Amino acid sequence: MVMSNKLIVVVIGALCTGLLSSAVAQTQIIPVSITVEVLKAAKEKDKHSTPAATAPGSEDRSVEITLKNPSNQALSNLDIKCWLLIRDVKSRDITIGDADSNTMSIPPRSQVVMTSSVAKCDFSPRTTGAGKPVPAKGNKFYGYGVQVLEWGKIAAQTYDPPDAKSEIDAAAKKDK
């Protein structure tokens, strides 16, 4: 029996399409949602009366991450990664101020709340006065990134601001 080249291509294409669709059907996407709230650390009141424009500031921040599992199945072996970003007030460079990683499970139709560690952000604004101007120094809170991984694959993620992902990826490349 002689087959034409067109028939062979059609048969191979059908086989590949069938294999691809069965591979896609086997891929499990977990139904987890992420909600993140930025928490401010309690500020200590200074006993000295310093004008607000020249007073050193503190923006210590952490994030509270709420993970919800709306499905009827427990989600296990989830790796939750969190990065807190800070920005230098003088150079405007963005760096990772703190990074956390936890492994956890979420029971069916429930939620889990976790809080990150605190990113220290202390700064002094630029001052001008009778003498020579003093430049700003220190760092401020910039944003965060949260990823949920299942078996090493990203299942859900959120970043604020949106360019935080590129900053985190750039910092990861520097560390390698």
Could you tell me the residue ranges of all domains in the chain? 30-40+56-175
Q: Give the pLDDT confidence score for residue 89 in this predicted structure.
A: 87
- For residue 104, count other CB atoms closer than 10 A to its CB: 14
Q: Give the pLDDT confidence score for residue 78 in this predicted structure.
A: 93
CA-nearest of 156, 162, 164 to 95 is 164
Distances (CA, A) of 161 to 64, 116, 155, 170, 174: 16, 18, 20, 15, 21
Q: Give the pLDDT confidence score for residue 142 in this predicted structure.
A: 94
Cα 76–chain centre separation: 20
Q: Give the pLDDT confidence score for residue 55 in this predicted structure.
A: 55
Distance, in Å, from the CA atom of 43 to the CA atom of 54, rounded to the nearest integer, reads: 17
- pTM for the full predicted model: 0.72
Q: How is domain 30-40+56-175 classified at the CATH fold level?
A: Immunoglobulin-like (2.60.40)
Q: Give the pLDDT confidence score for residue 52 in this predicted structure.
A: 45
- Return averaged pLDDT per consecutive 10 residues of the chain, 176 residues in all: 43 40 44 90 51 63 94 91 93 92 94 93 79 82 94 90 92 75
Q: Give the pLDDT confidence score for residue 102 in this predicted structure.
A: 94
